[in-house]
Amino acid sequence: MEARVLTTPIEQFKRPVVAGLDYRIRPHQLVIYYHSNGGKDIDYDIIFEQPRGFKCLDEGDMVTYWESRLLVDNWLFEILGGGWLDREDAQGGFSSKALGFREFLITGVDDCISVLSNEEPIIVKRQNPVVNASLLLQSRPADLGAK
């Protein structure tokens, strides 16, 4: 597995949690709600514009990813080789790699999200962190609303 750690505005990771996600057709985007501080607050939105695809798996189903110390010690990555994109491409009938899409991985202590996208994610610190996940839709930043 070959990967690089993404540079982010997240200052500290303490048992981060993927709290949920929101996939929209219009605007075509994937928003991942992220607790960087052990699940106390949803304090960041990780936004992919025009994602090609994504999957959410328990970290136990991604054992080959954890063979790399880099992936064990960090939380947000671009997977450069040996990941989901390469495995699907090797099986044939999968055009994303030929079209230049890249693979990104957002990890938490339990769930992990793999995303195929042409662009690195936009990471937005929430002005008012959300404690209760049911309040997510009511607290979306204005720039994430329908366009």
In a domain, 147, yes or no: no
Q: Is residue 135 part of a domain?
A: no
Strands of the 111-117 sheet, one edge to the other:
2-5, 76-81, 102-107, 111-117, 53-58
pTM: 0.82
pLDDT at 117: 97
Domain extent, residue 123, equals 2-127
Residue 74's pLDDT band (cuts 50, 70, 90): confident
pLDDT value for 51? 97
**Total domain count, the chain:** 1
Does 20 map to a domain? Answer: yes
Which two structure tokens, joined as six digits, stand for 7? 């540079």
In a domain, 74, yes or no: yes
Structure tokens at 113: 């999200």
How do residues 128-144 score in pLDDT, each as one tens digit?
766 555 454 454 455 54
* pLDDT for residue 13: 76
Tokens, residue 72: 């064990």
